[in-house]
């Protein structure tokens, strides 16, 4: 299976609050299936609950790619912003405000590169831990 198919499913699952979107991958074929709480049009196979060959794609929160990742970035790239970022995350709209702060400090591109690299690492580690073989050229 390809990394991009796993990443696409991960991005779908993570594009909403936990449990609102879901996706599974077939361990052998690599085929992915999607479902949303907002639609009755489920793409899941009938035997998904009874077949161990299907594994649920994690949400970004399951891989600790939320606030923990933000603080890792801040500590390593802009420690002088630590108190401001902590304050930002104590209110609603934290990610939008965080990205606004990074944009103001010309760090948004660095954040996106950092976030993408860490996400890839976490997803590949998750795949390995679940016995999913990813094509090396993907």
Q: How far apart are CA 8 and CA 48, in angstroms?
A: 19
Please report the pLDDT score of residue 79 as a whole number: 97
The angle formed by the CA atoms of residues 89, 38 and 90, to the nearest 5 degrees, is 5
Domain boundaries, the chain: 3-59, 64-129+134-138
Give the chain's radius of gyration (CA, Å): 17
Whole-number pLDDT of residue 138: 53
CA distance to 40, 53, 55, 99, 102, per residue, from 25 (Å): 20, 8, 5, 32, 35
Mean pLDDT on 55-65:
93
Whether residue 137 is predicted with pLDDT greater than 70 in this model: the reply is: no
List, for residues 105-115, the tens digit of each pLDDT value.
999 999 999 99
pLDDT of 44: 84
- Nearest residue to 89 via CA among 111, 71, 77, 105: 71
What is the rounded distance in angstroms from the CA atom of residue 45 to the CA atom of residue 66? 30
């Amino acid at each position: 299976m390809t990394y991009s198919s796993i990443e696409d499913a991960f991005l779908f699952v993570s594009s909403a609050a936990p449990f609102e979107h879901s996706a599974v991958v077939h361990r052998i074929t690599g085929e992915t299936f999607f479902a949303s709480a907002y639609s009755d049009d489920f793409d899941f196979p009938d035997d998904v609950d009874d077949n161990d060959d299907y594994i649920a794609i994690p949400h970004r929160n399951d891989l600790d790619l939320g606030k923990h990742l933000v603080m890792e970035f801040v500590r390593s790239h802009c420690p002088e912003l630590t108190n401001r970022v902590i304050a930002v995350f104590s209110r609603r709209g934290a990610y939008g405000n965080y990205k606004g702060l990074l944009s103001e400090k010309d760090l948004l591109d660095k954040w996106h590169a950092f976030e993408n690299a860490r996400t890839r690492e976490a997803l590949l580690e998750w795949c390995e831990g679940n016995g999913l073989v990813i094509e090396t050229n993907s």
